[in-house]
A and B are shown apart, each in its own frame.
Chain A
């Protein structure tokens, strides 16, 4: 149902670019709702739970609406810390399903998929992020077909796609590591109970693999926030670029220290919050199950 709503929104959009932004909004929306529902799954917090979920769900369309609807700000002119958070959130949430698919394809039964996934992972792992970003900037315009206006898609959606595809590789590696670290007996117990391969992955192996992968996934998330500043190289005014632009104005000459310290503090606050949240999540997930202790 949710997917069809997103699809309808995509169709309603007038340009491919707008549709892509709606789609990325859908990604954030879905994960946000899911996360809020999981974290607040306590009956005593029912009202708060509702408020948070509705808030999450409403937040993104509201932001996109505000940015698009009234006169419309082109995505190329979006800027500030919002852009850093946007890149981080969309890339992280988009990379999880893509990374999971890569990890599964790599250990799956189909040789073609296995090769494709392994090849993609190994090639992308050897590229610096900045190269991938520049590729998405340069190559896409030259080589993508004009079908659906793909070659005219704005810079931001293209960069978001590049971030997702790049980060997915590291997600895939983390999940693969989690799966490989499981004792062989777990898969055998599933088989002996008559479970199919898909059932054992979904119900037994992946839940455990995710817990094991959680610390490195959290690390990737913080890395992502830091590397979101790279989009300034391609002309988007994210936080760091904005800071630099500020210090170049005559009124702020000689104030680099203050500005950079402030920006640094901002990143630190978000990164620190993320790392505390992931610690809490790890503890919560390993609670009683003893997986975290091993």
Chain B
């Protein structure tokens, strides 16, 4: 337990956002996001490009500092004064569209780096963890491969293993399959599906509507920096109430 972890008795959502705004200069990216996500919930964020899905996810671990409003992660408030922001980030895994693997390290070292350096895990233990995680994402035979020797889908699965190695309380997926062809998309989504089944808290931004419908407990429809509509996938994706949602779905389905 780190000191960023509050007492277990306090029943609070994993992630709470209250009226969160983000300005880039004069551009208003996030326009009053209020949402709360329970532990174990799988939330899928959909919406057109430029709707600030990414910005929203990146605000949740303060890769993008928000301008106003409140973000609480497991009882810790994120703001400029959050002491040791990297301790909060260590508890939140993130998977990027561009994988962002470390190209100078093997798959194994990509996975063991943070546990060893941040969690001070002994080398042997970290190695064993890396092997088991890479096997779990179906890459048991690529342990010593470098990122440049792996396909996009394989790289993304290493990136998922790397995030999982920190035993995060929640995982953020920022369009994890947007750079992948359909077959690789399938192999990555299979891993995400498994995580969802295991009760991990997931926030996933994606354009894969079928996948959203299948794994989501709740779908958030983003447009122009706002949550236009939210609810169970069958309702939001099946019979949307809002005109903007209908228009978006008509385009992508």
Contacts and interface: CB of A to CB of B under 8 A. Distances in A.
Interface residues of A, number: 22
Interface in B23-63: 61, 63
B146 A195 contact: no
Contacts of A290: 103, 146-149
Given A193-B113, A194-B166, A204 B118 contact: no
Given A194-B90, A203-B113, A289-B146, A189 B100 contact: yes
Question: Of A185, A189, A194, A208, which is in contact with the most chain B CB atoms at under 10 Å from its CB?
Answer: A194
B98 A192 contact: no
A194 B100 contact: no
Contacts of B87: 194
Contacts of A122: none
A197 B116 CA distance: 16
B96 A207 contact: no
A193 B90 CA distance: 5
A91 B194 CA distance: 57
A248 interface: no
B163 interface: yes
Nearest to A208: B104
A223 interface: no
- Candidate in A183, A188, A211 with the most chain B CB atoms within 10 angstroms: A188
A195 B100 contact: no
A186 B98 contact: no
A194 B113 CA distance: 11
A252 to B, nearest CB: 53
Contacts of B93: 192
Contacts, number: 79
Contacts of A194: 86-91, 114, 118, 166
Interface in B105-151: 105, 113-114, 117-118, 146-149
A195 B117 contact: yes
B162 A193 contact: yes
Contacts of A207: 104
B93 to A, nearest CB: 7
Given A289-B146, A290-B147, A290-B148, A188 B96 contact: yes
Interface residues of B, number: 30
Contacts of B105: 289
A44 interface: no
Contacts of B166: 193-194
Interface string A271-294: 000000000000000001111010
Interface string B68-102: 00000000000000000011111111101010111
A193 B163 contact: yes
Interface in A67-102: none
Contacts of A42: none
Nearest to B165: A193
B87 to A, nearest CB: 7
A186 B100 contact: yes
A196 interface: yes
Nearest to A211: B104
A191 interface: yes
Given A189-B96, A194-B90, A199 B118 contact: yes
A196 B87 CA distance: 9
Contacts of B149: 288, 290
A289 B118 contact: no
Contacts of A196: 86
Contacts of B63: 188, 191-192
Contact of A192 (B94, B101, B104, B147): B94
A193 B89 contact: yes
Nearest to A185: B100
B102 A189 contact: yes
B117 A203 contact: yes
A168 to B, nearest CB: 25
The 9 A-B residue pairs with the shortest CB-CB distance in the complex, in nearest-first order: A290-B148, A194-B90, A185-B100, A192-B94, A189-B100, A193-B114, A288-B146, A194-B89, A194-B118
Interface of B: 61, 63, 86-94, 96, 98, 100-105, 113-114, 117-118, 146-149, 162-163, 166
Given A203-B117, A204-B104, A289-B104, 19 more contacts: A183-B100, A188-B63, A189-B100, A189-B101, A191-B86, A191-B89, A192-B96, A193-B162, A193-B166, A194-B87, A194-B89, A194-B90, A195-B86, A204-B113, A207-B104, A208-B103, A288-B146, A289-B148, A290-B147
28 contacts: A185-B96, A186-B100, A188-B63, A188-B96, A189-B96, A191-B86, A192-B89, A192-B92, A194-B89, A194-B90, A194-B91, A194-B114, A195-B86, A195-B114, A199-B117, A203-B113, A203-B117, A204-B102, A208-B103, A208-B104, A288-B148, A289-B103, A289-B105, A289-B146, A289-B147, A290-B146, A290-B147, A291-B103
Interface of A: 183, 185-186, 188-189, 191-196, 199, 203-204, 207-208, 211, 288-291, 293
